[in-house]
Structure 1
């Protein structure tokens, strides 16, 4: 079992907490860089959501 598989299995069932962590980390990175790398941070957040299943749930609208 790879490290990514282990992480995914630990996060399974905790999608809302994963989403909050991804958002909080991205916001912190934006604050520290004063928005200089906002596009790259947003791209990274989307990739993390795709990888770890922290995407919008059934009651949330899709992201723009």
Structure 2
């Protein structure tokens, strides 16, 4: 069993705790920044949870109801579009 397989197993076994940690980290960032980056933090939290779900083989299922399972539309880029 390789390192990646071990990570997948651990993610599957502890996905609820990992999700709680992601939530707490995002809340701390929101608190420290006064919510200035709340949208970006929320997107990062969703991305991190989705990666944990992928590792754990949960296929987007969220029995704890901690985050939506529907994919989010792509975020609008910050600033002007690049010029060619």
Q: Same fold (TM over 0.5)?
A: yes
Q: Which consecutive segments of 4 or more residues in structure 1 shift more than 4 A?
A: none
- Report how many residues are paired: 61
Please list every run of 5 or more consecutive structure 2 residues that lacks an aligned counterpart in the other structure. 71-84
Structural RMSD (CA): 2.9
Give me the TM-score of the superposition, normalised by structure 1: 0.72
Bigger-Rg structure (1/2): 2
Unpaired runs of 5+ in structure 1? none
1:1-64 correspondence runs (5 A) = 5=4, 8-9=7-8, 10-53=10-53, 56-57=62-63, 60=65, 63=68
With the length of structure 2 as denominator, give the TM-score of the two structures. Answer: 0.57
